[in-house]
Amino acid sequence: MGPGPTNMLPSVREALSLPLIGHLDPVFIEIMEELSQGLRQLFGTKNQICFAASGTGSSGMELLATNFVEEGDVVVVGVNGVFGGRIVELCEKLKAKVIPIKVPFGQGITVQQLQDAINSAGGKVDLVWVVHAETSTGYIHNELKEFAEIAHKSGGLLFIDTVTGLGGCEVKIDEWGVDGAFSGTQKCLAVTPGLAPVTISPRAMEKFQRRKTPVPSWYFDIGKLLGYWNKSEGKRSYHHTAPISTCYALHEGVRLLLEEGLENVQKRYRDLAAGLTKELEARGFTYAVQDISHRLPNLHAVYPPSDIDEAKLRKNLLDDGIEIGAGLGEFAGKVVRIGIMGANADAKVIANFLAALDKALPNSKK
């Protein structure tokens, strides 16, 4: 019941146990193609480039940065939590001119703050990067369409981190004008960690074609990866050995979401979140994100009641077989993070959690 990894559904676990086949086997190549098509639906995009990079969610960040950030590029990054800070660190390692927009944890960056940051760079940027769903705080940015318009007017691209958003929240890459996005499999997709769904727009690929320097990575070089993942390139070429079993699991996880219907999935998350919020607040918990319209439905970062020790609370719950997350960064030792994702986005699971919470609270006093 933490921020991930989450529990898997039975059919996903079964998919993990299927016999291995070669990563260039015709059957596996068909699975890859179906997986790309399913991910396009989850991302809300017609982008040809839409695949699952081998590696955990952070590998998606690394892939986008190493391919689309060059030395001297002006990159504006929204930092409203731990994961925005990681993007800043990575872009600085690539010797970009990074302009961070830092706001307190639990808040988000505004359209005006983004415009001001771009104006401070002379009105021109190469890339704007924001965290759509900030796992460390439970904050979701709803202004991505406006962010994209500003980025494009200034000659740049908009990239997003939607690791904790994809599969549980509305994601509309094409409608919003987002040029690059990455996610992870172990959150709302309810699959084992190990793959990073990524999508890249034609506009971003135009920037890639204008690179002045080689991509500073062999493993994540999109030019090489497309020879393996992109069917339009003709015969697929060997690049690396894909994590076969994890791809099986993601294929099944995506199938389940599409079978239920994305609107139905999102409504289920919203309804469950509303019920959990009511129960937590009744027990004296308060939300790190005060603006209700910017709270993630699937990740609840909350301050325990003032007389409760958050570390004791987490330990007591863990002793009862339930894991919730600790705070990160500015929230370390202050908040707990409760996830309702995947198999745990279920009313019975949440009811069991609340019963365990009631048992743990009296034993967690300071």
Mean per-residue pLDDT, 286-314: 97
Q: Residue 181 in contact with residue 173, Cβ under 8 Å?
A: yes
Flag whether pLDDT at 232 surpasses 70. Answer: no
Burial of 262 (0-12, 13-18, 19+ CB in 10 A): middle
Q: How many residues does the chain have?
A: 366
User: Are the C-beta atoms of residues 207 and 12 closer than 8 Å to each other?
Assistant: no
Confidence of residue 229 (pLDDT cuts 50, 70, 90): confident
Q: What is the pLDDT of residue 23?
A: 85
- Where residue 228 falls among pLDDT bands split at 50, 70, 90? confident
pLDDT digits (tens, 9 = 90+) for 90-149: 999 999 999 999 999 999 999 999 999 999 999 999 999 999 999 999 999 999 999 999
Which domains are seen in the chain, by residue range? Answer: 10-258 (3.40.640.10), 261-364 (3.90.1150.10)
The band of 330, judged by pLDDT with boundaries at 50, 70 and 90, is very high
Q: Which stretch of 225-239, 297-311, 330-344 has the lowest confidence by average pLDDT?
A: 225-239
pTM of the model: 0.96
User: Largest alpha-carbon pair distance within the chain?
Assistant: 63
Model confidence at 323, pLDDT cuts 50, 70, 90, reads very high
> Strands, E, within the chain: which ranges?
49-54, 74-79, 97-102, 127-131, 133-134, 139-140, 157-161, 180-182, 195-200, 286-287, 299-303, 325-326, 336-339
Stretch 178-190: mean pLDDT = 97
Residue 233 has pLDDT above 70, yes or no: no
The pLDDT assigned to 234 comes to 56
* Per-residue model confidence (pLDDT) at position 239: 85
Could you write out the DSSP letters of every residue in 323-347? --EEP-GGGTTT-EEEE--GGG-SH
